[in-house]
Amino acid sequence: MTPAGAARLKSELQVLLYEQRPKLTEVVAWAAGNGDRSENADYIYGKRKLREID
């Protein structure tokens, strides 16, 4: 791995953990409050994206 590649990966990790993940947790929390989670697309998609980030 090159130093540039490592820097790019670190940058991507920072974006995922500190920008995208907090927004997703807000969406999932909002969607969870909307009732039935089995048919709630926002909840299902949000949880899937959180699993990808984690």
Domains of the chain, by residue range, sit at: 3-53
Residue owning tokens 């899937």? 48
As given in the structure block, the two tokens for residue 23 are: 């927004």
pLDDT tens figures, 15-51: 999 999 999 999 999 999 887 788 888 899 999 999 9
User: What's the fold here for domain 3-53?
Assistant: Helix Hairpins (1.10.287)
Residue owning tokens 């984690």? 54
* CA-based max dimension of the chain: 48
Mean pLDDT along residues 5-24: 95
Checking if the pLDDT of 2 tops 90, the result is yes
The per-residue pLDDT for 46 is 92
Is there a contact between 24 and 50 (Cβ–Cβ < 8 Å)? yes
As given in the structure block, the two tokens for residue 27 are: 């969406």
